[in-house]
Copies of this chain bind each other. A is one copy, B any other.
């Protein structure tokens, strides 16, 4: 069984300056769930000072009771966890990287410091939500924009530490969208025996057109969980139209054509991000989304 973790509402919106009304975000999440997506990263409890777009996290989650899917939220630190625990969220995600240069720039900590903080956050979350679920992101798992190529052993080490401090899953991210299949193969081989395969997800970016090829290699190596973003929202594209996050539409099209049932209705999914794109003043650009919209145009 393949798991798809939809990250559009969080990862797709966090870098967008245009404010999106909370109700439109809630409708987006409901539409994603209605299309058949079962796990959705809904928002982030990062400080609203840093990411004003997601400053409505608590209000958004309050509008999604009962949740239409398994919803998670990014939690950057203990302060974020305090805010998260004022909501009914049962699933959180923590964010570190394989590169100290990257974590220093993004969360002002070394990787080791982030692991210390996350150990405390995870323990506090477990105490408050005994049935809860935690994923840890390992960004720049293949290459860092500041430090260059990352050795597989380094990514394995960070992923292993995250599992040790209590993560239920690690999401291995090709943050700048550079990896090709042989790097995925090498990393999977390095993780084998170190990290249980069922606790690994891949988070690929399609910045250079390689995302589906890397998903195919991940599948071939036994990985069964993949992150993606409806409409390809987010993921630091170079320009409008440039690839950022792997588009969920491309992922669903590929999986279904390979004969892997996803339970997701591609036409419904292709429509789900249109109100968000419209609010951002953008036309859709994700390939399988455009193809699906061509076959099933907006009314």
Contact = CB atoms under 8 A, between A and B. Distances in A.
Nearest to A239: B290
A257 B183 CA distance: 9
Interface string A249-292: 11001100111000000000000000000000001011110110
A213 interface: yes
Interface residues of A, number: 41
A215 B217 CA distance: 13
Contacts of A283: 239, 241
B206 A238 contact: no
Interface in A167-185: 177-183
- Residue of A179, A241, A286 with highest tally of chain B CB at under 10 A: A241
A227 B286 CA distance: 22
Interface in A149-190: 177-183
Interface string A214-245: 01110000000000000000000111011100
A18 B169 CA distance: 52
Copies assembled: 2
A70 to B, nearest CB: 26
Contacts of A104: none
Interface string A198-210: 0000000011111
Contact of A212 (B213, B247, B249, B258): B213
A210 B209 contact: no
Given A206-B209, A241-B283, A258 B182 contact: yes
Contacts of A208: 250, 253-254, 257, 287-288, 291
Contact of A290 (B241, B257, B286): B241
Contacts of A294: 238-239, 242
Contacts of A179: 257
A253 B285 contact: no
Given A210-B212, A210-B253, A290 B259 contact: no
Nearest to A244: B287
Given A213-B216, A254-B209, A241 B241 contact: yes
A178 B286 CA distance: 15
Given A180-B258, A208-B257, 18 more contacts: A177-B291, A179-B257, A180-B254, A206-B287, A207-B287, A208-B250, A208-B288, A209-B212, A209-B247, A210-B253, A210-B257, A216-B216, A238-B290, A238-B294, A239-B294, A241-B283, A242-B287, A242-B294
12 contacts: A178-B257, A206-B287, A207-B291, A208-B254, A210-B254, A212-B212, A213-B216, A238-B291, A238-B293, A238-B294, A239-B283, A241-B283
